[in-house]
Amino acid sequence: MTEKQSHPANGAPATMQDWPTLVGRAVDDVTRILQSEAHMLQTNMGAALETRLASAIATLTIVAVMISGAVCIVCAAILLLHQWLPLWQSFGIIGGGVLLAGLAGYAIKRSPATLESAESKSI
């Protein structure tokens, strides 16, 4: 492409930029925009990851405390039954109760779609 000249207010000719220079600038601008977007994404992802990690740690701490409390309640129930039964029978009764509670929880948690698919396979 040939160079075009324009005459600004002071009368001196000014050379207009040619196409390769304009394309180079456009590529540089796009590169800077993409780098800025990548940096913003990295910043946002870092903050989101940090929030999720803090939430996971808090949840795990709460679960650990709840498990400790459940173990204490089970031990108290065993010792209560031990007043009337031998220790091995107390452990057996409480263990069976915990097993039944776990199976009931699992059955409740199963989705209706899983139940329907199991019924359709048996027919």
Kindly give the interhelix angle for 19-82 and 87-109, rounded to the nearest 10 degrees. 140
Return contacts of 95-104, CB within 8 angstroms, 24+ apart.
98/74
pLDDT digits (tens, 9 = 90+) for 23-47: 889 999 999 999 999 888 888 888 8
d(CA 93, CA 76): 13
pLDDT at 105: 87
* Contact indicator for 96, 103 with CB cutoff of 8 Å: no
